[in-house]
Amino acid sequence: MVKLRIGYPEDPDYQERLEEFEARIARGEKIEPGDWMPAEYRRQLIRMISQHAHSEWVGMLPEGAWIPRAPSLRRKLILLAKVQDEAGHGQYLYHAAETLGVTREEMVEALLSGKAKYSNIFNYPTLTWADVGIIGWLVDGMAIKNQTMLAQCSYGPYSRAMVRICAEETFHHKQGKEAVLLYAKGSPKQRRMVQDALNRWWWPTLMMAGPHDTDSPHTPLLLRWGIKTKTNDQIRQEFLDEHVPELLEAGLVPPDPELRYDEKTGHWVHGPIPWDEFWKVINGEGPMNRHRLLARQRAHEEGRWVREALEAYSKRRLAQAAD
């Protein structure tokens, strides 16, 4: 474990160290695991990175459900590769969080006991095959906007994990867009199926960027310390400006009667987001929260023998090396 030099306000040199820490961030330097950092910087990073890792792992479930039902071998292979990528993203992120002094066991326990949050978006069911395309295009589309911003983050391990993850997510986004555009040009049944998927995923996707800046308690400090480099509303706006024209061109209509293009600002403007639903979902009361948690708990239990076997093997190797 990396020896951390974490700063607490009672340290007599705290102010001086904080100024130097903030000056490093202002110069665009990365903060690395053994560097001095305020305890709150560390706490915020552990919160965000572990929530992000949990999201990747829970995020495997809605799409994974369609692997056995993919309509062709090509689509099955693409989906298998995508779901495997999400598992890998979880691994990079858990490792990045471990550099801050938290253990994998602590993070997994927080997820399995329901204490930790993960992205709102994965608490909805995938009802048809078109949902897989819409998740790839829109959900990954929003994730990429957020993660491209996080690739500029001041904490080195998180920022580097994001660069790699974004490269893989770009493929996820492309395959989702390709599938949705195909169905949007397809038979009336396919068009209905894909419009219905858009109707169900639209608002949860806009919520993924987080509450409006006025209701986002963490944003000011995260911006000050370069953990976030854009606000929730800025990310949502980038998503809208890229995706709304492309959806409309494909003949698909987001389910928002107030959606309009503002000539003056050059931006798309959305109607009111159903935030009551967002708060319910992230506090455990969404349509699939219990189901998702149960699936993760079961997977953890069923993987126990693998962890035990690895531990026994590692002990034997150590004992052999000592002989």
Residues near ligand FAQ (CB under 6 A) are 47-48, 51-52, 55-56, 59, 86, 117, 119-120, 135, 139-140, 143, 146, 150, 207-211, 216-219, 222, 232, 282
- Counted residue by residue, the chain has a size of 323
Minimum CB separation from ligand FAQ for residue 117, in Å?
Answer: 5
Minimum CB separation from ligand FAQ for residue 160, in Å?
Answer: 15
Q: Residue 174 or 316: which CB sits closer to ligand FAQ? A: 174
Residues sharing a CB contact under 8 Å with residue 235, sequence separation 6 or more, in sequence order: 142, 145, 146, 149, 209
Minimum CB separation from ligand FAQ for residue 318, in Å?
Answer: 36
Name the closest residue to ligand FAQ (Cβ): 59
Q: Residue 58 or 184: which CB sits closer to ligand FAQ? A: 58
Q: Residue 156 or 248: which CB sits closer to ligand FAQ? A: 156
- Token readout for 192 is 């209905």
Minimum CB separation from ligand FAQ for residue 281, in Å?
Answer: 8
Q: Residue 36 or 179: which CB sits closer to ligand FAQ? A: 179
Q: Residue 20 or 241: which CB sits closer to ligand FAQ? A: 241
Residues sharing a CB contact under 8 Å with residue 72, sequence separation 6 or more, in sequence order: none
Report DSSP letters for 229-265, one per residue.
Answer: SS-HHHHHHHHHHHHHHHHHHTT---S-TT-EEETTT
- The Cα 126–Cα 308 span in angstroms is 34
The 3-state secondary structure of 280-308 reads HHHHHHCCCHHHHHHHHHHHHHHCHHHHH
Coil, strand or helix at 154: coil
Minimum CB separation from ligand FAQ for residue 105, in Å?
Answer: 20
